[in-house]
């Protein structure tokens, strides 16, 4: 759906949360500099694929993609910093959910290389991710394996029949499908997860870097969705990849995928916060201007009550999100506790953002459902965040199991 050229806005995201003790001066500088930069870009978003390429190029030139990779690979900070990712995604999503998408997929798409890549793999890919020269993609989901990752059917068969099980082969042939792959069709490379041990369940999955254009890979099947994002189905038919392209250890792909998702899960919550903050800001602006029954919409107590509820929902999600990012960056608690904190943040922020945006749309009346209005596009943009990178129901299970174990 066409959205046209991104228009600059006089609306600004709230900055009151930057005084919280979760953040330091480096984080506050990001939040201070990014709004004006994003607001001035004027990207034509009428074609989601062309727009994502443009956003990646601009984000790279602006130095913002350097926060997607660690310092030894051209990154802005020594390690991937969850709090920086949170503030970047929240701000980008306030102005353009598509800009947030382009930024996030550079980090998620290359995250497995940052976490488990060899020195040569990191050097070959990550500096170009940081500069925007290469577009990254994370290929995990399949038609019958979304939340149930262990059910994946994409096979990676060793080229040598005499290769010992559990040892890396010289090369592999990939056969099967991936779907709902963000940046599918525009990515320069894919971090692909496949079964190297078909009977091994989650312990039989390995990860590979597969360059776009590799013979046997077809990434042309674009998937149209309700909000503009470049998604595609990937088809592998005897797609040969070198053993040198394997990420980490044989059959270590599931752990690598979960580690990568854990890093970025809190940032999904942040993207939802950015959209919710924009919806609230739009609602406040509209309520102050809209005249009805001899006063403004903002003068009605019912409007004030709704705005208060929206603000509280945002702050509840924000505090959980910032806590989760802070816990990961400072190694607070156990790995399990950090994962549960990220699950709470992702679930609460995305669900609350959906409610906030729905209330903002209702407050706009007929204008809210007019195609091209900001709250209408936010209504479509927010929906997928409750599904991808772990649906709300998956987060509930993670939290619920933890609560039962503690009782």
Known catalytic residues are 389
Question: How far is it, in rounded angstroms, from Cα 69 to Cα 62?
Answer: 15
Question: How far is it, in rounded angstroms, from Cα 93 to Cα 324?
Answer: 19
Q: Give bridge partners of residue 156 from the DSSP assignment.
A: 174
β-pairing, 189-195 with 136-139?
A: parallel
Question: How far is it, in rounded angstroms, from Cα 196 to Cα 52?
Answer: 33
Question: What's the angle, vertex CA 241, arms to CA 239 and CA 242, rounded to 5?
Answer: 155
185 near 229, Cβ under 8 Å? no
Burial of 17 (0-12, 13-18, 19+ CB in 10 A): buried
Question: How far is it, in rounded angstroms, from Cα 297 to Cα 275?
Answer: 22
345 near 320, Cβ under 8 Å? yes
Residue 131 CB neighbours (<10 A): 18
Q: At residue 169, what are phi and psi to the nearest 5 degrees?
A: -90, 170
Helix intervals (H) in 18-73: 25-39, 48-61
Question: How far is it, in rounded angstroms, from Cα 63 to Cα 138?
Answer: 22
Question: How far is it, in rounded angstroms, from Cα 93 to Cα 99?
Answer: 7
Question: How far is it, in rounded angstroms, from Cα 160 to Cα 342?
Answer: 41
DSSP conformation class of 142:
B
Question: What's the helix, strand, coil split of the chain in %, to 5?
Answer: 55, 15, 30
């Amino acid at each position: 759906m066409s959205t046209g050229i991104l228009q600059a806005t006089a609306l600004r995201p709230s900055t009151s949360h930057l005084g919280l003790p979760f953040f330091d001066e480096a984080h506050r500088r990001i939040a201070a500099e990014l709004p004006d930069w994003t607001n001035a870009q004027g990207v034509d978003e009428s074609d989601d694929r062309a727009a994502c390429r443009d956003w990646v190029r601009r984000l790279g030139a602006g130095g913002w993609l350097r926060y997607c990779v660690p310092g030894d690979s051209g990154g802005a900070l020594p390690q991937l910093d969850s709090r920086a990712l949170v503030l970047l995604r929240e701000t980008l999503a306030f102005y353009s959910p598509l800009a947030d998408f382009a930024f996030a997929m550079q980090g998620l798409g290359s995250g497995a290389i940052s976490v488990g890549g060899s020195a040569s793999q990191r050097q070959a890919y990550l500096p170009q991710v940081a500069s925007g020269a290469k577009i990254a993609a994370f290929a995990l989901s399949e038609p019958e394996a979304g939340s149930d990752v262990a059910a994946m059917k994409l096979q990676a068969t060793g080229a040598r029949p005499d290769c010992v099980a559990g040892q890396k082969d010289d090369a592999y042939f990939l056969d099967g499908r991936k779907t709902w792959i963000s940046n599918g069709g525009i990515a320069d490379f894919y971090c692909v997860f496949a079964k190297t041990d078909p009977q091994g369940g989650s312990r039989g999955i390995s990860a590979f870097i597969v360059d776009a254009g590799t013979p046997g890979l077809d990434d042309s099947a674009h998937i149209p969705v309700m909000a503009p994002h470049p998604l595609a189905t990937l088809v592998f038919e005897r797609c040969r990849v070198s053993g040198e392209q394997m990420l980490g250890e044989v059959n270590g792909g599931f752990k690598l995928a979960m580690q990568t998702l854990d890093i970025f899960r809190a940032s999904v919550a942040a993207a939802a916060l950015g959209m919710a903050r924009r919806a609230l800001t739009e609602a406040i602006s509209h309520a102050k201007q809209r005249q009805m029954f001899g006063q403004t919409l903002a003068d009605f107590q019912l409007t004030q009550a709704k705005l208060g509820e929206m603000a509280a929902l945002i702050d509840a999600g924000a505090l959980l999100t910032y806590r989760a990012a802070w816990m990961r960056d400072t190694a607070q608690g156990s790995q399990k506790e950090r994962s549960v904190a990220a699950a709470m943040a992702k679930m609460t922020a995305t669900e609350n953002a959906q409610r906030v945006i729905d209330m903002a749309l209702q407050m706009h009346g007929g204008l809210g459902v007019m195609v091209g209005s900001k709250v209408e596009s936010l209504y479509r943009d927010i929906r997928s965040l409750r599904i991808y990178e772990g649906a709300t129901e998956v987060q509930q299970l993670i939290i619920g199991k933890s609560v039962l174990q503690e009782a």
